[in-house]
Structures are given as structure tokens and as C-alpha cells.
Structure 1
Amino acid sequence: MMHPKEALEVLACNRGEHVVITTMGTVALWPEFSDTARDFHYLPSSMGEAVPLALGLCLARPELKVAVLVGDGGLLMNLGCLVTAAQYSVPLRIILVDNGLYEVTGGQPVANARRTDFARIAQGAGIPRVYTCATLEQWQQSAPAALAGPGPVFIWWQVQGERGRTTPAPPRPMPEQIRRLRSLWSATV
């Protein structure tokens, strides 16, 4: 299994022009790899809300490519978002960071941890391209193709969990993050 930082480093090297939306545990890790207007840290009780936010951004600004990192617990809270996302041809990459834990709330196991086949769920929802990456090597090989071409795309990272982490604070207040993200809109119009 990969360490989340290893997976994020590969994402950073291959992201191109993608806006990267981080949630929960990845909020604390991503700034080590990137801190630009194309990085948005969504943390106001984001469990279950990240994919709809990213899809909304893709629908509002289809010229922006979006990669959203969502935890297994967060995705389980809103599995219907996969069916909703699948009905649109948008440049959306849904990256599931599956660590088997509700990491930032005490490290409790997620329901059916490590036994749920998220790839089959995404395929069944109608996501046309699905990648399963249980090792760093698999992710390194898949990343260029997964981040290129049409979307939506579902990428399932199986990563090591870490107990004892707490909910991170975003590196800047939400109004500043929104301002930075909006600056991309004027640059692309």
C-alpha cells in the first residue's frame, strides 16, 4: 500500500492545469507539494460534499479541469454523487483516498473497511474510466492516462491510514481561497 504523501507527490508531478480540491486529511499534506490559485482546501464539514462541489465547479467553468480528493468515509456518506457525476461529460477526476479509517475523527474503521470494491461501485454508477492503484507503482503508471483525456474519471488510491491525526486547518481562510480560485476564471475568459 502507498503512503498518502507518495500518492500526492505523483499527483503533483502529473496534475498539469488541474484545480486540485483537497478535503479532510489531504488538506494538511497537499501544501507540501503545491500552493497556487489552482489549490483549494475544502474543509467546512466537507465529508460527503467534496465531489458535488467539484462537479459544480466543472459545470460552471467547463474549461477548468478539476481533481478532487475525497476520503473513503466521505464518499460513503454520499455515494449518489458518483451517479450524478457520471451523467456529465466534464473534466472531473474523483480521487478516492481509501485509508480504511475516519482518520481525522479518531481513527475509527470505516464501515466495511478494506472490503468494499469502490472500483465496481464507480463502474456501476456509470463512470467511464476507473483506475485502481493499490501500490505506488500502479499509480505512477496510471497517472498520466488517468489525468488526461475526457472525464469523469474515478481513481481509487489504497493508502496507509494513520491513527491519532486531528482535523487540519486550511492554510488560508476560505474567503481568500475563493478569491484565489476566482482569479483563474478571469485568466481563462
Structure 2
Amino acid sequence: MTLRRDDALKSLIPHVNDEDIVVAVYQSCFDWLALNPRDLNYVGVGAMGQASSHALGLALANPERRIFVFDGDGSLLMNLGSLVTIANAGVTNFYHFLFANRVYEVNGAHPLPGADKIDFAAMAGASGYAGTRSFDDSVAFCDGLPDLLATPGPQMTVLEIVPGAAYPRDYDYIHSSAARQRFREALNRR
């Protein structure tokens, strides 16, 4: 495995435009906020497993914007039913990136149940996602991004990752009303 989470996020930065919404959770959120602070970064915390559901609501309400979900594998396991709901909602602006390290990283790196057996891409495909891909190599991921983002969603991209550089876990910011107000104002600024 040669794909670091921070390298994957850095590869995504040039593809996220000023109108795109990013819904990131847990360690991917902390890393993304450090690497690419922006007003349309949605931080939904305290609701493990809800990233895909929150993103679906944003996708339905904002069909002219692309929605990027930076989800964790442990988080998605808490809400697998969202895959079917997303697939059947017909959201073509939905790009789901699953950062799979096979542990509950921010909660002590405890292993996921069935970590060596779970095939998230297959689950998304069986749920009806328009497309699924998996990467464990940074070069292949970078090369595949333009085609992936030119394809209507919902798209699931499973990234088999290792942690990468350590970024600060700014819990004060992600729990703040200022973070939500900043997002709300950016969302309504058109």
C-alpha cells in the first residue's frame, strides 16, 4: 500500500473548485481543513456515520454544485443503508471518497469488525452507485481523477490508505458555531 491520506487529499485539491461542497469527517476532516481551508468545507461532527447522509441532503438541495464526501470506513459502517438511499436518489453531483485504513483511527485505532473481508466498492456497486473504483497507489489515483470527476455520480472511490503526515485535530474549530456560520454564509452567497 503506497497511498497516504494526505497525498490523496493533496491530489484532490486542484479538482475542487470554489463552488464545490466538501463534507469531510474525522481524520480526513482534520487533514483537509489543514491542507485546504475554505468556506464550503462542511463540518458535521458528533454524528459518526452521517457524512454520506448529510452530503446527500446537500446534493439534493444544490444540484448545480458537486458534492465531495471524504468519509471514513469505520464511519460508513455505522450507516451502510445510506448507500442504497444515495444510489436511488439519482444525485449525479455526488462523489464519495472512502478513506479505508481498516481501523477506527481517531478513536484509538481499534480494528474494524471484518476489516480484512469488507469490500466497500462492491457494497456501493450492489447498492446501485453509478460507478465504483478502488486505489491503493497515489500515481494511479492521480491519473484516474480526471476521468472519475468527468463521470456522473453517484461515484464511490475507495482509497486504501495509510495515515501520512500528522495534522492537528482542531476540535474547537469543528465544534464551533463559527464553522457552521462560515459554511452557511458561503452556501447562501450566490
Fold in common (TM above 0.5): yes
Measured after TM superposition, the shift of residue 135 of structure 1 is 0.9
Contact 2:30 2:168 in 1 (8 A): no
Provide the rounded CA distance (Å) in 2 between the counterparts of 1:46 and 1:60: 20
Q: What residue in structure 2 maps to residue 177 of structure 1?
A: 179
Q: What residue in structure 1 maps to residue 159 of structure 2?
A: 157
With over 3 angstroms needed to count, the CA separation of the structure-2 counterparts of 1:144 and 1:46, relative to structure 1, is farther
Contact 2:121 2:133 in 1 (8 A): yes
C-alpha RMSD over aligned residues: 2.2
Unaligned ranges ≥5, structure 1: none
Q: What residue in structure 2 maps to residue 98 of structure 1?
A: 100
Matched, 1:136 2:138: yes
TM-score by length of 2: 0.88
Q: Identity, % of aligned pairs?
A: 29
Amino acid of the residue matched to residue 12 of structure 1? I
Tell me the number of residue pairs that the alignment of Structure 1 and Structure 2 aligns. Answer: 186
Q: What residue in structure 1 maps to residue 87 of structure 2?
A: 86
With over 3 angstroms needed to count, the CA separation of the structure-2 counterparts of 1:40 and 1:157, relative to structure 1, is same
1:6-155 pair list within 5 angstroms = 6-16=7-17, 17-43=19-45, 45-90=46-91, 91-155=93-157
Provide the rounded CA distance (Å) in 2 between the counterparts of 1:14 and 1:180: 22
Segments of 4+ moved more than 4 angstroms = 165-168
CA-to-partner distance for each residue in 1:41-63, whole Å, 9 max, x for gaps?
Answer: 222x2311110000011112222
Contact 2:173 2:179 in 1 (8 A): no
Provide the rounded CA distance (Å) in 2 between the counterparts of 1:92 and 1:7: 18
Measured after TM superposition, the shift of residue 13 of structure 1 is 1.9
With over 3 angstroms needed to count, the CA separation of the structure-2 counterparts of 1:126 and 1:54, relative to structure 1, is same
Contact 1:105 1:166 in 2 (8 A): no
Contact 1:28 1:170 in 2 (8 A): no
Contact 1:104 1:167 in 2 (8 A): no
Unaligned ranges ≥5, structure 2: none
Contact 2:28 2:70 in 1 (8 A): yes
Amino acid of the residue matched to residue 96 of structure 2? I
Partner of 2:189: helix, strand, or coil? helix
CA-to-partner distance for each residue in 1:142-179, whole Å, 9 max, x for gaps?
Answer: 211222332111110100158xx996516354432332
Provide the rounded CA distance (Å) in 1 between the counterparts of 2:31 and 2:163: 13
Measured after TM superposition, the shift of residue 89 of structure 1 is 2.4
Measured after TM superposition, the shift of residue 23 of structure 1 is 0.4
Amino acid of the residue matched to residue 169 of structure 1? Y
Amino acid of the residue matched to residue 88 of structure 2? Q
